[in-house]
Amino acid sequence: MYVSERLAAMLGHQPGELLGRNPGVLFSDRTPMAQLDAVAEVVESGQQAVVRLGLRHSTGSEVPVEASFLALPSLSSGDPWYLALYRDAADVPRAEKVLADHGDLLDALARADDPHDVFIELTDRVEDAIRGASCWIGVVNAYGEVDAVSTSSQRDDLVASTVEMIVASGRAATPSTFRVDDLSFELGMELRAHGVHALWSFPVVGRDRRSQGLLIAAHSDRDFPHPSERQMLEHLSSLVAVALEHSSVVSDPAHQILHDDLTDLPNRALITDRLEQAIARLGRDNTRLAALLVDLDRFRQLNHRRGTDMGDEVLVEIGKRLRRSVRLGDTVGRLGGDQFLVLCVAMNGEADASSMAQRIIANVAEPIELSDGTTVSATASVGVTLVDRPGQTASVIINRAESALSAALDAGRGGWALYEEGLRQRVVIRHEVEQALQIAIDSDELLLHYQPLVEISTGRMLGAEALVRWNRPGHGLLPPGAFIEIAEETGLIVALGAWVLDEACRHLRNWPRAADGRLPVVSVNLAAKQLADENLVDTVIGSLTRHGVPAECLGFEVTESMAIDKVDTAIETLRRLGALGCKLSIDDFGIGYATLDYLRRFSMADTIKLDRSFVSGLGESREDTAIVSASLALARSLGLSVVAEGVETRAQYGTLADLGCDLAQGYLLSRPVPLDEAIELWTRTHLIILD
């Protein structure tokens, strides 16, 4: 990518002749391969390698050099840059100290430190090495304007006008010296006032051979540098070029616009562009392009649990791992959030794509060490699509990868799926709801309605069940049936549930005491994934304390049909919630199969809620009536109270009273209503009177 003029000259080449050639051509045949291999190993491990070896002169003779090699981490492309500095070994004994140990400057570059820091260090060393000199660096843009200066010893404006003067003189492209006496009156006077007698100027030449600025030594009495000083300044000016080149990758506005701030990966705009280009190149050989959409599972929860700083660390690490997972010529970009797009070229077919997807999943799954010393594990789901010919747009391809990703998520997290025509319609719709729901949770689109629970024997209201609604823009008020299932499958339910819980507690503060002094019990529904979440109890305690609500006012409903695989965690969680004083109900009772066993395990519950499918048949279906009365007997024997759900008629209510059922909930008493209406119902002495 870059060969200094001096190296070309040392090896008997024209400047530029070596550009673009394999660096291997530089080495003489007598340089042992084993030595080069050893160097490669040191460099790959991130260290600087300094060795003596022979370079090949164009005449065939060998030039002994001291060489230092270093890999500079690339911040954009994933491939490191290699920097090699060769010093004519014959010069070494005479070379200045600065030249001999600028290795740490290279290290600073390799760490991608601010180039300005490197420059300041570099100017200090020049000033140490050349008595009477002060050293300045001026960075010049394509129009010859001074963009920045570095100097440890002079005023910036003086340096800037000096650089401008040299550029205007037309002598900026070659090493030049200027006597202050020969300069314009004003600048000359100014420089003299600062003790400068002469300026030794060295061009900083970039990879494109464009002059990027000047390295200037301003000397107090000598007109010309000594040859070894000159050599040192030339070397250092090429170091400045490398530093600028390297830093421009980071600070270039074009780079910033096209790269993600956090991971420095290509952003959506750039990766889409790369995708278009890759599609356009298809068809030249028989290979295909794979687009892999990588989505971190449950990243929201991780962010929620560990804070966004830790979440950011995870994203950065995942970005690195993805880059390490792919081959030269492949591209990794971040589409946003926890989604990455990986473009792999030269894929032979599904087998290639599948091994790439599996490699990505495996690499992501390795534990991630965070800066606070803790470790987290992430998993990813991957949607893959293969493209074999030009003609499709990037957005179509990304859509297909999204469809495949949804299919992968449907099939369970941590897996991958390949796009198939038939899949498309269904999964795309799902994905859209998911994204909208994600936004809804953060943006006030959710709300709670409350449905009263009534004591059958007295008709008075004891509390209410909180039921979530989604006021989705353009879709009206959606019932939970339209989104709860998706929330559960995608894991969004944990965040949604936490919102419901907090909102219910926030509302609880507004509920007055009843006329007889009682406090209401408001219950919220818990999904299986919430129960499996080890942070649930902390979340509950957080909401209770934040809103100053006694735990006795909060109830939880868990459904009997809930996934049994995490049953131990669930039981432990419920026990802790019960210990706080919260009420626990078994929801939709009577429809699961492991009923009795389940009841035994969930013996910490206070209440069972009889599913409304049994209640609706009460009095009409003998079977339903039998189930209800058997359930009531069972519950009583376990010391549980019973709520009948879905009570719609006075007849049902009357039968429940006869059977000795404790509580009722249903349209007969009230539909789920907004908070203020629920509170109004709460203040009444009773909602119903038995005939």
Angstrom distance (rounded) from CA 629 to CA 627 = 6
**Least Å from the CB of residue 632 to Ca ion:** 17
Q: Which does 146 bind (CB under 5 to 8 A by kind): ligand C2E, Ca ion, none?
A: none
Q: Which does 500 bind (CB under 5 to 8 A by kind): Ca ion, ligand C2E, none?
A: ligand C2E
* Closer to ligand C2E by Cβ: residue 53 or 528: 528
* Closer to ligand C2E by Cβ: residue 140 or 441: 441
**Least Å from the CB of residue 427 to ligand C2E:** 23
**Least Å from the CB of residue 497 to ligand C2E:** 6
* Closer to ligand C2E by Cβ: residue 341 or 647: 647
Q: Which does 527 bind (CB under 5 to 8 A by kind): Ca ion, ligand C2E, none?
A: ligand C2E
* Helical pair 103-110 and 227-251, crossing angle rounded to 10 deg: 10
Q: Which does 7 bind (CB under 5 to 8 A by kind): Ca ion, ligand C2E, none?
A: none
Q: Which does 190 bind (CB under 5 to 8 A by kind): Ca ion, ligand C2E, none?
A: none
Whether 315 and 263 have beta carbons less than 8 Å apart is answered as yes
Which residues are near Ca ion by CB under 5 A? 525, 557, 587-588, 645
* Closer to Ca ion by Cβ: residue 139 or 632: 632
**Least Å from the CB of residue 526 to ligand C2E:** 6
Q: Which does 319 bind (CB under 5 to 8 A by kind): ligand C2E, Ca ion, none?
A: none
Q: Which does 582 bind (CB under 5 to 8 A by kind): Ca ion, ligand C2E, none?
A: none
Beginning with the edge strand found earlier in the chain, give each strand of the sheet holding 133-140 in spatial order: 146-151, 133-140, 211-219, 198-205, 176-179
**Least Å from the CB of residue 592 to ligand C2E:** 13
Q: How far is CA 42 from CA 24, 35, 86, 426, 442, in A?
A: 17, 11, 17, 53, 49
Whether 361 and 378 have beta carbons less than 8 Å apart is answered as no
Start-end of H helices in 559-621:
567-580, 595-601, 612-616
* Closer to ligand C2E by Cβ: residue 363 or 438: 438
Cβ contacts of 128 within 8 Å, gap of 6 or more: 98
Angstrom distance (rounded) from CA 18 to CA 40 = 21
* Closer to Ca ion by Cβ: residue 287 or 613: 613
* Closer to ligand C2E by Cβ: residue 106 or 467: 467
* Closer to ligand C2E by Cβ: residue 403 or 585: 585
Q: Which does 524 bind (CB under 5 to 8 A by kind): Ca ion, ligand C2E, none?
A: ligand C2E
Q: Which does 480 bind (CB under 5 to 8 A by kind): ligand C2E, Ca ion, none?
A: ligand C2E
**Least Å from the CB of residue 382 to Ca ion:** 36
* Closer to ligand C2E by Cβ: residue 480 or 578: 480
Q: How far is CA 238 from CA 5, 74, 118, in A?
A: 10, 18, 13
Q: Which does 402 bind (CB under 5 to 8 A by kind): Ca ion, ligand C2E, none?
A: none
Which residues are near ligand C2E by CB under 6 A? 451, 467-468, 479-481, 484, 497, 500, 524-525, 527, 557, 587-588, 612, 645-648, 665-667, 672
**Least Å from the CB of residue 107 to ligand C2E:** 55
Q: What are phi and psi of 178, to 5 degrees?
A: -130, 130
Q: How many CA atoms lie within 13 A of 606 on its CB side?
A: 16
Whether 525 and 587 have beta carbons less than 8 Å apart is answered as yes
In this structure, the number of other CB atoms found within 10 A of the CB of residue 690 comes to: 12
Beginning with the edge strand found earlier in the chain, give each strand of the sheet holding 380-387 in spatial order: 331-336, 339-347, 288-296, 380-387, 416-418
* Closer to Ca ion by Cβ: residue 96 or 488: 488
Q: What are phi and psi of 465, to 5 degrees?
A: -100, 130
**Coil, strand, or helix at residue 389?**
coil
**Least Å from the CB of residue 465 to Ca ion:** 6
* Closer to ligand C2E by Cβ: residue 205 or 668: 668
* Closer to Ca ion by Cβ: residue 178 or 556: 556
Q: Which does 479 bind (CB under 5 to 8 A by kind): Ca ion, ligand C2E, none?
A: ligand C2E
**Least Å from the CB of residue 601 to Ca ion:** 19
**Least Å from the CB of residue 608 to ligand C2E:** 12
**Least Å from the CB of residue 576 to ligand C2E:** 19
**Least Å from the CB of residue 570 to Ca ion:** 16
Q: Which does 49 bind (CB under 5 to 8 A by kind): ligand C2E, Ca ion, none?
A: none
> Could you tell me which residues are beta bridge partners of residue 291?
343, 385
Is the Cα torsion angle 647, 649, 650, 651 positive or negative in sign?
Answer: negative
* Closer to ligand C2E by Cβ: residue 62 or 648: 648
Whether 166 and 172 have beta carbons less than 8 Å apart is answered as yes
* Closer to Ca ion by Cβ: residue 53 or 678: 678
**Least Å from the CB of residue 525 to Ca ion:** 5
Q: Which does 317 bind (CB under 5 to 8 A by kind): ligand C2E, Ca ion, none?
A: none
**Least Å from the CB of residue 450 to ligand C2E:** 10
Angstrom distance (rounded) from CA 119 to CA 135 = 10
**Closest listed residue to residue 146, CA positions, set 164, 171, 128, 131:** 164
**Least Å from the CB of residue 541 to ligand C2E:** 19
* Closer to Ca ion by Cβ: residue 225 or 555: 555
Angstrom distance (rounded) from CA 219 to CA 127 = 10
Q: Which does 266 bind (CB under 5 to 8 A by kind): Ca ion, ligand C2E, none?
A: none
Beginning with the edge strand found earlier in the chain, give each strand of the sheet holding 62-72 in spatial order: 49-56, 62-72, 81-88
Q: Which does 648 bind (CB under 5 to 8 A by kind): Ca ion, ligand C2E, none?
A: ligand C2E
* Closer to ligand C2E by Cβ: residue 205 or 528: 528
Q: Which does 229 bind (CB under 5 to 8 A by kind): Ca ion, ligand C2E, none?
A: none
**Least Å from the CB of residue 447 to ligand C2E:** 11
Whether 232 and 95 have beta carbons less than 8 Å apart is answered as yes
Instruction: Concatenate the DSSP letters of all residues of 260-313 into one string.
Output: -TTT-SB-HHHHHHHHHHHHHTTTSSS-EEEEEEEEETTHHHHHHHH-HHHHHH
E-strand ranges in 112-166 read 133-140, 146-151
**Closest listed residue to residue 217, CA positions, set 154, 140, 146, 142:** 154
**Closest listed residue to residue 67, CA positions, set 112, 36, 98:** 36
Question: Count H helices, E strands: the chain?
Answer: 25, 24
Q: What residue is closest to Ca ion based on CB?
A: 557
Burial of 551 (0-12, 13-18, 19+ CB in 10 A): middle
One-letter amino acid of 176: S
Angstrom distance (rounded) from CA 664 to CA 464 = 11
